[in-house]
Amino acid sequence: MARIGVLGFLHETNTFATGPTSLARFIEADAWPGLSTGDALLDATHDMNLAVSGFVEATQANGHEIVPLLWCSANPSGRVADEAFETIAARLEAMLRNTSIDGLFLDLHGAMVTESLDDAEGELLRRLRLITGPDCPYVAALDFHANLTQTMVTHTQAMVAYHSYPHTDMADTGRRAAGLMQRLLQGQPLAVAWRKLDFLVSMPWQCTLSDGPAAALMSAARSLEDRDRPEVQFVPGFPLSDTPEAGPAVLCYASTATRAHEAAAILIDQIEASKQNFGGRLYLPDEALDHVLARTEGRTILADTQDNPGGGGTGDTTGLLHALLGRGIENACVALICDAEFAQAAHACGRDARLKRPLGGHHDPGGPPVDGPFDILALGDGRFTGTGSFYRGCRMDLGPMARVRKDGVEILVSSRKQQAADQAMFRHLGAQPLAYRILVLKSSVHFRADFAALADEILMVKAPGVNTADLHELNFRHLHPSMTIV
Ligand SMILES: [Zn+2]
C-alpha cells in the first residue's frame, strides 16, 4: 500500500478578461466546491464529475491510502492575482514538507496564468519538486483546454487530459490517472513524446459532439492506444490565453520512447491534415433571430458563446436579451445572467412582486443594463445538485437566484456567475426548459451535454462578451511566432 498525496488547484485564465482573479474566488464555492483541505476535501468532491473524485475512488480501490492535501478552483476569468497563487502554492508547499508520500496526484487545469507567471502550473510543479525530489511519481489530470508547457512535462511522470468537450469524462480522467499512478508505483516507467502544434482553434469549434474534426481526432488517438501505450492524447488547448506556450499539443506515454514517438507522429499528421476543417458559422443576434422567426415550429438554442463564464465571460452581458426584447419575441428564456444586487433586490421584494431596477450590463463589453420593471416569478437560494452529465453530482452554490419576466422573455438570474449547462438550473427556479421555444444559454459547448437533445437547432451567436469566438479579432502579442489561427 502506498501513500498518495492528492491536491487540486484549477483555473482557466482568459488573459483578455479583466483581472486579477482574487483569492476569494478560489475560497468560495460555485458549481464546484470551495477551497477544502484534509478529509473535508474528500467529502466535498465525493462522487462528482471531477478528476479528483475519479482518482480517489480508483486509487482507494487499488488499495492505496489517500493523503488529501488541498483542493480549490475558481471560475474562468482574468489573470490570477499573485497573492492568490502565492498563498495557495505556499500552503501546498508547507503541506508537502510536513507529510511523507509515495506519489502525488495533481488535479490541474493547465491554462492558469497569473499576474507574474505565464505558466503557473509549471511553476507550481517546479516548486513542489524541490520538496519531494525528482523520483516521487507525479501524475496530473488536465483540462481538455490545457496549454501544455515544457516545464509541466519535465516535472511530471505523466499527465492525462479530458477526452471530451463537453467535459463529461472528468471523473474518468481521474481514473485514467489512477491507472498510470499504479503502473508507476509498480516500477513500470513511462516514456513521453510530445509536441506543440502551431494553430489556435476557437472554443465552439473544439466540440467533440458536433460535426467538426475533434471527435474523429479523439477516436484516432484512442485507436493508437494499447496496454504498452496507454495514453495517446490530442489536447486542443485554450486559445484565449496570450502566452508563448498557448495552443494545442499532442502528448503520448508508452513503455518505450520509440512507441511514444511513433504514435505522436501519426496523430500529428492526422491533426495537420484536418486542421482547416475546424470552424463554423457565428450569427449576429439579429441574424439568429431572423433565422428563428422564419421557422414555424421547433425549439432553438442560441449559444451566447462570447459571454460564456466557462471561458472567462462576466455572465451579465445583455446583447441577446436586448435583441429578444427589441423584436418582441415571446416564449424565450435567458440563462444565466449574473447580477447579485438584482437577485438580492428580488428576494427583498418577494415572489409575484414587480421589480423596477435594471438588470445586468455591469461590464464592458456587455451592452447597457436592461431596464425594468420585471415580474418576479420564482426565487431560489442557489443551492442545488447538477444532474446533467457534465455537472453531474456538483453541489452548486450560486447565491440567491430569481426567475423574472419582462414582456415575453424570462430570465434566470444568479448571484455568482456560472455557465448555463445543466437543466437543474432551470428546475431550481420552477422552470422546465422544454416549456420555451427559444433558450439562450451563456455557454459555448458544455450546454450540449444536457440540452442538445432538447433542441431542433443550435446556433452560435456572437453578442458582446470577452470570450471572443472569432480569434482574428484579438490582438495577440505573446504567442509563439509560428502560431496561426484557423
Ligand atoms: Zn475546458
Regarding whether 292 and 269 lie in a shared domain, the answer is: no
CA of residue 242 to ligand 1 center, whole Å? 16
CA of residue 188 to ligand 1 center, whole Å? 30
CA of residue 202 to ligand 1 center, whole Å? 12
CA of residue 147 to ligand 1 center, whole Å? 11
CA of residue 62 to ligand 1 center, whole Å? 28
Q: Which of 219, 244, 277 delimits the end of a domain?
A: 277
Regarding whether 292 and 214 lie in a shared domain, the answer is: no
Given a cut of 90, whether residue 119 has pLDDT beyond it is: yes
CA of residue 390 to ligand 1 center, whole Å? 11
Regarding whether 36 and 68 lie in a shared domain, the answer is: yes
CA–CA gap between residue 70 and residue 422 (Å, rounded): 27
CA of residue 142 to ligand 1 center, whole Å? 9
Query: Is residue 477 in a domain?
Result: no
The model carries a pTM of 0.95
Query: Is residue 81 in a domain?
Result: yes
CA of residue 60 to ligand 1 center, whole Å? 27
CA of residue 228 to ligand 1 center, whole Å? 28
CA–CA gap between residue 108 and residue 112 (Å, rounded): 9
Query: Is residue 446 in a domain?
Result: yes
Regarding whether 339 and 268 lie in a shared domain, the answer is: no
Regarding whether 450 and 304 lie in a shared domain, the answer is: yes
CA of residue 98 to ligand 1 center, whole Å? 33
CA of residue 174 to ligand 1 center, whole Å? 15
| pLDDT confidence bin for 31, thresholds 50/70/90 | very high
Query: Is residue 485 in a domain?
Result: no
Query: Is residue 266 in a domain?
Result: yes
CA of residue 144 to ligand 1 center, whole Å? 5
Regarding whether 44 and 88 lie in a shared domain, the answer is: yes
CA of residue 467 to ligand 1 center, whole Å? 13
Query: Is residue 180 in a domain?
Result: yes
On the question of a cis peptide bond just before residue 166, with omega within 30 degrees of 0, the verdict is yes
Q: Calculate mean pLDDT across residues 404-415.
A: 98
Regarding whether 294 and 244 lie in a shared domain, the answer is: no
Look at residue 210 in the predicted model and tell me its pLDDT.
Answer: 75
Residue 330 neighbours by CB distance under 10 Å? 12
CA of residue 69 to ligand 1 center, whole Å? 24
CA of residue 269 to ligand 1 center, whole Å? 24
Regarding whether 317 and 256 lie in a shared domain, the answer is: no
Q: pLDDT tens for residues 60-78?
A: 999 999 999 999 999 999 9
CA of residue 446 to ligand 1 center, whole Å? 9
| pLDDT confidence bin for 314, thresholds 50/70/90 | very high
Regarding whether 286 and 268 lie in a shared domain, the answer is: no
On the question of a cis peptide bond just before residue 76, with omega within 30 degrees of 0, the verdict is no
- Whether the CB-CB separation of 316 and 338 falls below 8 Å is answered with yes
CA of residue 143 to ligand 1 center, whole Å? 5
* Grid cell of 23 as nine digits: 483569492
CA of residue 237 to ligand 1 center, whole Å? 8
Q: pLDDT tens for residues 326-366?
A: 999 999 999 999 999 999 999 999 999 999 999 999 998 88
CA of residue 452 to ligand 1 center, whole Å? 18
| Domain, as residue range, for 329 | 282-470
- Whether the CB-CB separation of 449 and 461 falls below 8 Å is answered with no
CA of residue 38 to ligand 1 center, whole Å? 26
Regarding whether 300 and 233 lie in a shared domain, the answer is: no
CA–CA gap between residue 252 and residue 472 (Å, rounded): 30
Q: What percent of the chain has pLDDT over 90?
A: 97
Q: pLDDT tens for residues 143-154?
A: 999 999 999 999
Regarding whether 286 and 260 lie in a shared domain, the answer is: no
Look at residue 79 in the predicted model and tell me its pLDDT.
Answer: 98
Q: Calculate mean pLDDT across residues 194-204.
A: 96
Q: Which of 230, 259, 277 delimits the end of a domain?
A: 277
CA of residue 145 to ligand 1 center, whole Å? 5
47: left (phi over 0), alpha (psi -120 to 50) or beta: left
Regarding whether 270 and 287 lie in a shared domain, the answer is: no
CA–CA gap between residue 389 and residue 238 (Å, rounded): 22
Query: Is residue 484 in a domain?
Result: no
Look at residue 304 in the predicted model and tell me its pLDDT.
Answer: 98
Q: Which of 236, 255, 277 delimits the end of a domain?
A: 277
Query: Is residue 16 in a domain?
Result: yes
Given a cut of 90, whether residue 91 has pLDDT beyond it is: yes
CA of residue 236 to ligand 1 center, whole Å? 10
- Please give the tally of structural domains in the chain: 2
- Whether the CB-CB separation of 485 and 199 falls below 8 Å is answered with yes
CA of residue 110 to ligand 1 center, whole Å? 10
Look at residue 211 in the predicted model and tell me its pLDDT.
Answer: 77
